[in-house]
């Protein structure tokens, strides 16, 4: 067989080409190479099971059925759908590269990726949010700088629906206390947006601002550790997890879960989807609509009250 058609060499040629493409991240190249070599290993094992002694795979012999068998094997072994999708993306990219460089037809062209699992977002009920925000182990504990900062973190996340990365990226100049608004600068999709802040969140931020161990600066970070350094997203996740456990609430809630809670409660109390889309910074209304299924009873009630032929 022609060495140029051997899969190992073809994968290396493909990943080398990816490395030279300025738009390809190092992680993308590494992941594609690993996923393609995993597919190659499957084909070698399959050949062995069929009684064929091979130490390499001829790329031109790979068919759509081989790819489907591989995906079926992954799903049989309980691989996550995201993993299956990623492996198929690597295979499609590999054969697309061969198609454009040497004109070889792609056996992956007609294979569709499995659909994403639609999971209910993990959220808190409104009374649970109140318990989370107002929890303190002792009365004195609620007035320490750390406690005031944590209250500011959770009030702001819930009040504005910010992504945790947007929260930790805030500087004091981004908050307009008089207007009750926060400017999210270059959020996801590189778009700035203005988001309202509720009075409890503004009050919590003012108390934290006064209590900061290292004096605040106009261009300095809002959320810091007690040494004045900007807090990381991981630190916020850990703070929330500790608060959740201490308050005896739903395990597994993440800072993003407070964003889900914000959107769901806004919708449940009559906010329209377009407004929620604007506040969350979603490029597409379809992304925002994922929250409607958790408020279906509210929507049905609104329909029942408003539609004249019910």
Residues labelled as active-site residues: 163, 188, 256, 259, 282, 291
CA 128 to chain centre: 23
User: How far is 268 from 96, CA to CA, in rounded Å?
Assistant: 46
DSSP per residue, 41-94: HHHHHHHHHTT---SS-BGGG--HHHHHHHHHHHHHTT--HHHHHHHHHHHHHH
User: How far is 262 from 275, CA to CA, in rounded Å?
Assistant: 13
Dihedrals φ, ψ of 213, to 5°? Answer: -60, -35
Is residue 163 a contact partner of residue 256, using CB atoms and an 8 Å limit? yes
- Across the beta sheet with 193-196, the strand order is 175-176, 181-184, 193-196
């Amino acid at each position: 067989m022609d060495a140029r058609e051997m899969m190992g060499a073809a994968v290396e040629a493909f990943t080398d080409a990816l490395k030279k493409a300025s738009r390809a991240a190092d992680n993308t190249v590494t992941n594609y190479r690993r996923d393609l070599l995993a597919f190659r290993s499957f084909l070698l094992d399959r050949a062995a099971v069929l009684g064929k002694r091979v130490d390499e795979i001829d790329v031109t012999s790979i068919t759509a059925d081989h790819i489907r068998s591989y995906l079926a094997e992954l799903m049989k072994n309980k691989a996550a759908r995201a993993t299956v999708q990623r492996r198929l993306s690597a295979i499609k990219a590999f054969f697309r590269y061969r198609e454009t460089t040497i004109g070889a037809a792609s056996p992956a062209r007609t294979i569709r990726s499995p659909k994403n699992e639609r999971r209910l977002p993990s959220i808190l009920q409104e009374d649970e949010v109140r318990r989370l925000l107002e929890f303190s182990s002792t009365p004195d504990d609620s007035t320490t700088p750390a406690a005031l900062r944590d209250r500011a973190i959770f009030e702001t996340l819930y009040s504005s629906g910010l992504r945790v990365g947007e929260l930790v990226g805030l500087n004091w100049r981004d908050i307009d206390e008089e207007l009750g608004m926060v400017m999210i600068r270059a959020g996801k999709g590189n778009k700035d947006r203005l988001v309202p802040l509720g009075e409890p969140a503004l009050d919590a931020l003012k108390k934290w601002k006064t209590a900061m161990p290292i004096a605040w600066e106009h261009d300095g970070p809002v959320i810091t550790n007690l040494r004045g350094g900007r807090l990381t997203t991981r630190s916020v996740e850990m703070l929330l997890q500790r608060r959740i456990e201490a308050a005896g609430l739903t395990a597994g809630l993440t800072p993003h879960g407070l964003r889900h809670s914000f959107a769901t409660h806004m919708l449940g109390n009559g906010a329209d989807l377009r407004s929620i889309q604007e506040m969350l910074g979603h490029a597409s209304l379809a992304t925002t609509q994922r929250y409607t299924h958790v408020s279906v009873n509210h929507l049905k009630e609104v329909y029942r009250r408003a539609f004249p032929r019910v």
